[in-house]
A and B are shown apart, each in its own frame.
Chain A
Amino acid sequence: MAELTVFSFYPGTSLVHQLDARFKFFFLIVLSLICLHTSFQGLAALSTLITAVVWSIRLPLTYIIKELRYFLLLIVLVFVARTVFSDGMPDVNLGIFSISLNGLRNGLLICWRLAFIVICGLAFISTTRSSEIKAAVQWYLTPVPFIPEKKVATMMSLIMRFVPIIFDQAKETMEAQRARGIENRKNPVYRLVKLGIPLIRRTFEHADELVLAMEARCYSESRTDPPLISHKRDWLSLLVIMVLCIALLLFRFI
């Protein structure tokens, strides 16, 4: 029985699950953009909102932290880099490095924004079926000239379909290599090559098998997509998000 990665649909009946995919997609983009233009107070408000969302969709928090551990490592690296290399009067000297209060502030702000965007993406993917995401992307791209919206939407949904498979495959390959003592090889490049090549090969093989299976079930770009119907709750959510965003922007300029 395979484990799932956290970046996959998580069935549920929460309000966020029930929202129209087009609205959720719009919220994801707007909130991600707004968080880039807010400071600590604004981020705190946005983080409260997303925490409530994650709580309401009943995602297991310990599992999220476990699955995002590599991303957390990246955040720590970004934090250290921003802290050490930011401009400003040094407050603490550590040999060739110096740390300023301004640098600490910048590092914290950037990491918080990154974490917020990732959690928003996680909430979106966990509550929206890939077929709904495909239908929403298609809906947004339809008025855009020269863009084959059905192809783009299909490609997006297939990428999302493949993320858990690639993670699964990576985990399996790593376990098989650990069983044969790869941990004794300390060179990270060697280990990366030995993981990457079979992983890429298996991913392409999986892609071939998936194409055959989809063809066998008459797949085409023109198909019955999930119905996209907006309800009162979608418009109310839109109102709340827009009011919050405008308030955050105004607060920033006051």
Chain B
Amino acid sequence: MNIIEIENLSHRFADGTIGIEDIDLKIREGSFVVFAGPNGSGKTTLLRHLNGLLLPTAGSVKIAGWPLEKNLLRARQLVGMMFQDADSQIVGETVCEDIAFGPENLRMERSEIAKRVHNALGAVGLNNLAEQRPHLLSGGEKRRLAIAGILAMEPKVIVFDEPFSSLDYPGVKQILSSILTLHQSGHTILVTTHDLEKIIAHADRLIFMNNGKIVRDGSPEKIMAEAETYGVRQPYASRLGHKVMSWLS
């Protein structure tokens, strides 16, 4: 079943700049898709249409069979988004409070909120930091907190916008491990990146974007060698003709 169906999607910004143009895309439930492309290629603009942060200038987006505009709240509940700058995503005074933010917006009962916060804390391994102030967390912990905030809303699709930017090696491993756990638990994972090296070993689909358009779409093994044609660095192992290894191995 396709969880996301996009037809002829275009978005033009207020100043006339074209963000994305004529995008047709279907994403199967439970898949792991990497969107790669240089800065300004339209990756973030495309993904912001999936939970209605941006609305189409033309075309349509369906989430789990429902047109996005018909029920924005439902779309935002189904599609969780982790932003590039985790700091801007944190709204709570403590880790717990930040995770509770989404369920509180969904007007859930206190007991249900407490349960979801507890589960989300456990899922990202932040139980011992539940009462910590988010601003004092490390970069990797902040991103895990952002993931927990999304998980508490129980989405089906999770979008990661450049999840590894400005992270050190342990931070990258922590986030990568969280992403894989989420995928294994049945979530559909969409990741944008301009650095394939860290993530591509786990993806089952690779989409290259350039100038607001999808320019190549296929399995990573088949199309990874074309990366540099589209302004993305080809992983070193792939250049040498080897299989790209996971950063967790």
Q: Which chain A residues have a beta carbon within 8 Å of chain B's beta carbons?
A: 1-2, 4, 8-11, 129-131, 161, 164, 168, 206, 209-210, 212-220, 222-225, 227
Main SS of the interface on chain A?
loop
Contact A212 B101 (CB under 8 A): no
Interface pick from B129-137, B202-210, B224-232: B129-137
CA A84 to CA B149, docked complex, whole Å: 56
Decide if B70 is an interface residue (CB 8 Å cutoff).
no
**In the complex, what residues of B have CB within 8 A of residue A2's CB?**
87, 135-136
Cβ contacts B75-89/A at 8 Å (1 or 0 each): 011001101010111
Using A206-B88, A218-B77 as known contacts, say yes or no to A223 and B105 having CB atoms under 8 A apart: yes
Contact B94 A217 (CB under 8 A): no
**In the complex, what residues of A have CB within 8 A of residue B132's CB?**
11
Instruction: Pick the contact of A1: B53, B77, B93, B138 (CB < 8 A).
Output: B138
Decide if B110 is an interface residue (CB 8 Å cutoff).
yes
| Selected A-B contacts with CB under 8 Å, 20 pairs | A1-B136, A8-B133, A9-B133, A11-B93, A11-B94, A11-B131, A11-B133, A209-B83, A210-B91, A213-B88, A214-B91, A215-B52, A216-B81, A217-B153, A218-B77, A218-B106, A223-B105, A223-B106, A224-B104, A224-B109
Q: Which chain B residues have a beta carbon within 8 Å of chain A's beta carbons?
A: 48, 51-53, 73, 76-77, 80-81, 83, 85, 87-89, 91-94, 97, 101-110, 113, 131-133, 135-138, 149-150, 153
Distance between B123 CB and nearest chain A CB, rounded to angstroms: 17
CA A210 to CA B87, docked complex, whole Å: 9
CA A220 to CA B76, docked complex, whole Å: 12
Distance between B96 CB and nearest chain A CB, rounded to angstroms: 9
**In the complex, what residues of A have CB within 8 A of residue B83's CB?**
209, 212-213, 216
The residue of chain B having its C-beta at the shortest distance from the C-beta of A2 within the complex is: B135
Contact A217 B131 (CB under 8 A): no
**In the complex, what residues of B have CB within 8 A of residue A214's CB?**
91
Distance between B100 CB and nearest chain A CB, rounded to angstroms: 8
Contact A217 B93 (CB under 8 A): no
Contact B89 A224 (CB under 8 A): no
CA A168 to CA B87, docked complex, whole Å: 12
Give 8 nearest A-B pairs by CB, closest first.
Answer: A209-B88, A9-B93, A218-B105, A217-B102, A213-B89, A224-B104, A129-B93, A216-B81
The residue of chain A having its C-beta at the shortest distance from the C-beta of B146 within the complex is: A213
Contact B53 A215 (CB under 8 A): yes
Contact B76 A216 (CB under 8 A): yes
Contact A8 B93 (CB under 8 A): yes
Distance between B95 CB and nearest chain A CB, rounded to angstroms: 10
Distance between A235 CB and nearest chain B CB, rounded to angstroms: 23
**In the complex, what residues of B have CB within 8 A of residue A129's CB?**
93-94, 97
Contact B88 A215 (CB under 8 A): no
Using A129-B94, A206-B88, A210-B91 as known contacts, say yes or no to A217 and B76 having CB atoms under 8 A apart: yes
**In the complex, what residues of B have CB within 8 A of residue A212's CB?**
48, 53, 83, 88
CA A209 to CA B189, docked complex, whole Å: 22
Contact A224 B107 (CB under 8 A): yes
Distance between B99 CB and nearest chain A CB, rounded to angstroms: 10
**In the complex, what residues of A have CB within 8 A of residue B97's CB?**
129, 131
